A = this chain, B = another copy of it.
Amino acid sequence: MKTCFKLTQLIKLTQLIIIVILLTLNFSKVTMAQNLAGAPLPSWNKGTNKQTIINFVENVTDPENPNYVAPEFRIATFDNDGTLWAEKPMYFQVAFALSRIRELAPNFPEWKEKQPFKAVLENDQQYLANITVNELLEIAMVTHAGMSQKEFEQEAREFLDIAKHPRFNQLYKQVIYQPMLELLTYLQNNQFKTYICSGGGLDFIRLFSEEAYRISPENIIGSNILKKYKIVSDHSQFIRQPQIIEPINDKAGKPVNIERFIGKKPILAVGNSDGDIEMMQYTVIAHQPSLALLVHHDDEMREYRYTTGTEKALKLAKKYNWSVISMKQDFKQVFSFSP
């Protein structure tokens, strides 16, 4: 069978084929990107807060928008305890140190009278629930001083791989807020650099942050003790010293360390307590576009309900126009598991 064409028809056909191919290639790119992203924040209930976040991300990533921010300046900093994972009945890092404190107690008879050690030895749950970041760090400093970094990591990994949250009966590293995980993913898919900025110990957080949050070790800002470098039988070692590096990564120490580690001001900060006030303030004061989110623990059924340690932040949220995230109202689902 023969088919006859004009040469011009043939050229047009060829053009058509090329256009179809190019469109297909382009279309598949767009749909792939959309499939990867999906509808953002599925575990968030519809409402002002969800919409504020989505509007913010859409604006700063849209080159046509006056609030467009280049990818290298899309810095987002997240507190960890109470913001990404739970912090009750006590900081998970304190739970990690409990057995070590009891083990060391015979060498430190003064602990019987000295907080926060006294509370650990007497199992004073109320005290432990409201321990300060400074006390947390004193525990972190004392319990593993003199150990090599490798030994510390082994011990902490063991805890994280085995120990379970007393109420939820899940590994601590799984007691993570599903909506916050989705927020991290949403930001990462939109070329944000996501950082943790926590009062807790840098080394402890690094052991699960990649797996839990897809945040790599160089993007963790935390409190830290000094280490000494030495060579032991042809291997390099870091020995943990009983000395905290200033500033402690809490309150006004957070912006100082953000400036030190990143050298750029975040455009998004997420916290949950008075320890996060300065980080959120630094992010939004005289700085546009920017957004600050304050997670409010108001859901005693699915998580916890408390305002202790967050009274000042809740007041300031109104003054500074921070978005207060109600776990009860804004979170369709709290954890990836059913509590």
A interface residues (Cβ-Cβ under 8 A, vs B)? 1-7, 10, 14, 17-18, 21-22, 25, 72, 149, 193, 202, 206, 216-218, 220, 224, 226-231, 234-236, 238, 243, 245-247, 252-253, 255-256, 259-264, 278, 281-282, 285-286
The CA of A227 and the CA of B255, in the complex, are separated in Å by 10
* A251 (CB) vs chain B CBs: closest residue: B229
- For A72, what are the chain B residues with a Cβ–Cβ distance below 8 Å? 216
Contacts A229-B252, A236-B282; A3 near B14 (Cβ below 8 A): no
- For A7, what are the chain B residues with a Cβ–Cβ distance below 8 Å? 1, 3
Pair A5/B6 contact, Cβ less than 8 Å:
no
Pair B5/A3 contact, Cβ less than 8 Å:
yes
> Which of B18, B206, B236 is A285 in contact with, Cβ under 8 Å?
B236
Contacts A6-B2, A261-B218, A285-B234; A228 near B256 (Cβ below 8 A): yes
Pair A229/B255 contact, Cβ less than 8 Å:
yes
Pair B216/A229 contact, Cβ less than 8 Å:
no
Which 7 pairs from chain A and chain B are nearest by CB? A217-B263, A229-B252, A229-B255, A4-B4, A218-B262, A236-B282, A235-B286
Contacts A3-B4, A3-B5, A236-B255; A246 near B226 (Cβ below 8 A): yes
A-B contact pairs, 19 of them (CB 8 A): A1-B7, A2-B4, A3-B5, A3-B6, A4-B4, A14-B17, A17-B17, A21-B22, A25-B25, A218-B262, A226-B246, A228-B256, A229-B252, A229-B255, A231-B281, A236-B281, A236-B282, A236-B286, A243-B246
Pair B5/A263 contact, Cβ less than 8 Å:
no
The smallest beta-carbon distance between A7 and chain B, in angstroms, is 6
The smallest beta-carbon distance between A236 and chain B, in angstroms, is 5
Pair B235/A285 contact, Cβ less than 8 Å:
yes
- For A22, what are the chain B residues with a Cβ–Cβ distance below 8 Å? 21
* A287 (CB) vs chain B CBs: closest residue: B236
Pair B10/A6 contact, Cβ less than 8 Å:
no
* A230 (CB) vs chain B CBs: closest residue: B252
- For A193, what are the chain B residues with a Cβ–Cβ distance below 8 Å? 218
Pair A227/B245 contact, Cβ less than 8 Å:
no
> Which of B1, B238, B255 is A259 in contact with, Cβ under 8 Å?
B238
